[in-house]
Amino acid sequence: MNEETREDRLLDVFVKLADTLVDDFDVVDLLQMLVETCESTFDVSAAALLLDAGDGELDLVASTSHESRTVEMIVLGAEDGPCVDAFRTGAALVVPDLREGSGWERFRRAGLENGFTSVHALPMRLRQTSIGALTLFENDASRLEERDVRAAQALADVATIGILQDRAVRESETVRMQLQHALDSRIVIEQAKGVVAYTHDVDMDEAFRRIRGHARSSRQAISEVARAVVERRIII
């Protein structure tokens, strides 16, 4: 691949990533595109992406190989391998030759059985937040150059920003809905207080005490009791 073709392909990928990061984008599709791009652009043997589901453990989300032995090896790496270390430390790790060195013995054996001889594990991290790792597997015929590693890390960084932005939007939407629910509930409670106060000729404080007392005795939310009062389904 000549320099111009390679750079053009990378530019196309970044454009696709930017275009994909819109409202309601498919995270799985985004990550699958990322690993397939890494495999074809950097000419590695395989690529896999593992994400933290929120419990501190990595799960395989996207891979260019769906062969059971390869998948098992990738999953093994999520338990004890360079990918989990990259995720936990936030630093890129490279195993230049699986046949040499020590550590991650089971992972090394499984990698060699699959025909892989070296591994690059790149963290998916933004500032202090780490969400996973992108792992690139190579054999003797495919060796990553330093510029390829930097480009792959850049792709992982863009995907990380997109995922965290999506997560932030969803969390903010949840908070907004919770606040709106609280406001709506307060309106219904005020209406119910008025109904009880008028019905029994009591003040608003006493009306609220009666609503709350009924909610506690019936083990219901105050807002549920208040709505039932307003809709004349119960009389307190």
- pLDDT band per the 50, 70, 90 thresholds, residue 147: confident
d(CA 97, CA 119): 8
- pLDDT band per the 50, 70, 90 thresholds, residue 172: confident
| Angle made by CA atoms 86, 82, 39, in degrees to the nearest 5 | 90
For 71, the token pair is 């998948």
Residue 1 has pLDDT above 60, yes or no: no
pLDDT tens per residue across span 51-69: 887 778 888 888 998 888 8
Alpha-carbon distances, residue 13 vs 3, 38, 97, 134, 226 (angstroms): 15, 10, 29, 16, 55
For 139, the token pair is 């054999």
d(CA 125, CA 131): 6
Count other C-beta atoms under 10 Å from residue 167's C-beta.
14
121: closest CA among 151, 154, 157, 93? 93
What number is the average pLDDT over the span 211-223? 92
Looking at this protein, which amino acid is placed at residue 181? H
Percent of the chain with pLDDT over 90: 40
Residue 158 has pLDDT above 50, yes or no: yes
d(CA 65, CA 49): 11
pLDDT tens per residue across span 75-86: 888 888 999 999
In this prediction, residue 21 carries a pLDDT of: 61
What number is the average pLDDT over the span 34-61? 87
Residue 19 has pLDDT above 70, yes or no: no
For 191, the token pair is 């209406």
CA 22 vs. chain centroid, Å, equals 16
In this prediction, residue 141 carries a pLDDT of: 62
Contact 96, 118 (CB under 8 A): yes
- pLDDT band per the 50, 70, 90 thresholds, residue 2: very low
Residue 11 has pLDDT above 80, yes or no: no
What number is the average pLDDT over the span 74-98? 90
* β-sheet bridge partners, residue 130: 125
Segment among 14-18, 126-130, 191-195 with least mean pLDDT: 14-18
Q: Which helix (H) or strand (E) holds 124?
A: strand 118-126
Taking all residues of the chain, what is their mean pLDDT, rounded to a whole number?
A: 85
Looking at this protein, which amino acid is placed at residue 118? S
Looking at this protein, which amino acid is placed at residue 68? S
Runs of H (alpha helix) within the chain:
3-20, 27-42, 68-79, 82-89, 105-113, 146-200, 204-218, 222-230
Full set of structural domains in the chain with CATH: 3-170 (3.30.450.40), 173-230 (1.10.10.10)
Residue 8 has pLDDT above 90, yes or no: no
